[in-house]
Amino acid sequence: MKLYGYFRSSAAFRVRIALNLKRLDYESAFIHLRRGDQRQPGFLEVNPQGLVPALETDGQVLIQSLPIIEYLDERHPEPPLLPGDAAGRARVRALAAIVACDIHPINNLRVLRYLQRPLGHDQAAIAAWYNHWIDSGFAAFEPLLAGDPRTGAFLIVNRQHDTGVKTVLGQTISYPAGKPAKVTAAIITMLPGEATGWHQHDVPMFDYILEGEVAVDYGAQGTRVYRTGEAVMEAIAVAHNGRNTGSGPARILAVFMGADSVPNTVLLKGDASVPVQPPLQ
């Protein structure tokens, strides 16, 4: 597959994101939009519209980012880019249309250039135009995302995670006393089937599941499963063993709210099969 794009073309970004989510190999052809490569005869043969992206695949050239993405989704269904239900699909397509049909086209390079010449607007007027349509577009888009529980985990970067005043096992959170406070962050990666080994934390620890699925066995207190986008205030001083129960890697951001010379993690029952406190990556 060959993707014709430009490094800061948002329409080409959409297709790159889909290709990468689906882990598809492709080569990139760089069309320098500022220099006008898109209007050269060679590229107009690829896409007579003179726009990127265009994707050469299966002996044909596909154009228009959203149809390209839907083609990729049909040809390579895993992981799916659209929800399984009709209403969910309508919602996702509507969100995509807000960006691709209502915000982007009126701020495209050729439109901004047309405002300048022949219409004669100066840079300040063009910037005002650009900011106005982006602001009003996202003023509608963001609440549509934020207020809906169907919003995917990868879109919740700005959501606040309030884990409350208790740990996952209902313990009151307390910080180590008498020593200087020390906060440490780590990203823990586990391959499918891999386990941390039995260990415990004697200091408060906040976990955020960046990717994947982890089942944590708390012995007599049961097992909890945490998935992408979930935040957990981990149990304090309770032995537990975490295992990647998903089909891909699990990555966890762990933040220890500890104290100087107090171990964040205590290994129990011998070796842990993965380091429980690697350095921040």
Ligand X SMILES: N[C@@H](CCC(=O)N[C@@H](CS)C(=O)NCC(=O)O)C(=O)O
Q: By CB under 6 A, is residue 11 in contact with ligand X?
A: yes
Q: What share of the chain is helix, strand, coil (3-state, %, to 5)?
A: 30, 25, 45
Residue with tokens 């901004």: 112
Instruction: Using the minimum distance from each CB to ligand X, give the nearer residue, 64 or 244.
Output: 64
Q: Which residues pair with 227 in a beta bridge?
A: 213
Sign of CA dihedral 59, 62, 66, 67: negative
Closer of 52 and 72 to ligand X (Cβ): 52
69 is an interface residue for ligand X by CB under 6 A: no
Decide if residue 52 touches ligand X (CB under 6 A).
yes
Which residue type, as a one-letter code, is found at position 195?
A
Q: Which residue has the tokens 């840079």?
A: 123
Give least dist CB 16 to ligand X, A: 12
Residue of 9, 196, 241, 245 that binds ligand X (CB under 6 A): 9
Q: What region, left, alpha or beta, does residue 73 occupy, with left being phi > 0 and alpha being psi -120 to 50 degrees?
A: alpha
What token pair was written down for 210? 């960046």
**For ligand X, what does the binding mask look like between residues 103 and 142, x meaning CB under 6 A?**
-----xxx--------------------------------
Q: CB of residue 68 vs ligand X: minimum separation in angstroms?
A: 7
Question: Would you give the distance in Å from CA 144 to the centre of its chain?
Answer: 18
Least gap, CB of 26 to ligand X (angstroms): 16
33 near ligand X, rule: CB under 6 A: yes
Nearer Cβ to ligand X, position 12 or 233? 12
Instruction: Please tell me the distance from the alpha carbon of residue 81 to that of residue 79, in angstroms, as a whole number.
Output: 6
Does position 189 bind ligand X by CB under 6 A? no
Give contact residues for ligand X (rule: CB under 6 A): 9-11, 33, 38, 51-53, 64-66, 100, 108-110
